[in-house]
Amino acid sequence: MPILEALHARLEGDCEILERAKALERKLATLARTAETLLETVRCTSSHRVEWYIVGLILLELFWSV
């Protein structure tokens, strides 16, 4: 239907749908990267904590053996 296509094209231009969609995609990509970075930071922090627990247990074992 040509009338609906013309209306769609007009609304698309007036509302800047394509530009807004691209801006939303960029924002979502940024949020995804931020979430991945935060997740890696949490994993790294948790890993370091476990390593310190192991070091503490080794030192405790050495102390008891002396």
In degrees rounded to 5, what are phi and psi of residue 16? 55, 45
The structural domains of the chain, with segments of one domain joined by +, span 2-65
Handedness of CA 45, 50, 53, 55 (dihedral sign): negative
Task: Classify residue 59 by its DSSP letter.
Answer: H
Listed in sequence order, the residues at least 6 apart from 17 whose beta carbon sits closer than 8 Å to its beta carbon are: 11
Predicted TM-score (pTM) of the model is 0.58
* pLDDT tens sequence across 30-58: 999 999 999 998 888 888 888 899 999 99
pLDDT of residue 61: 93
8 Å CB contact between 66 and 60: no
Residue 17 tokens read as 């749908």
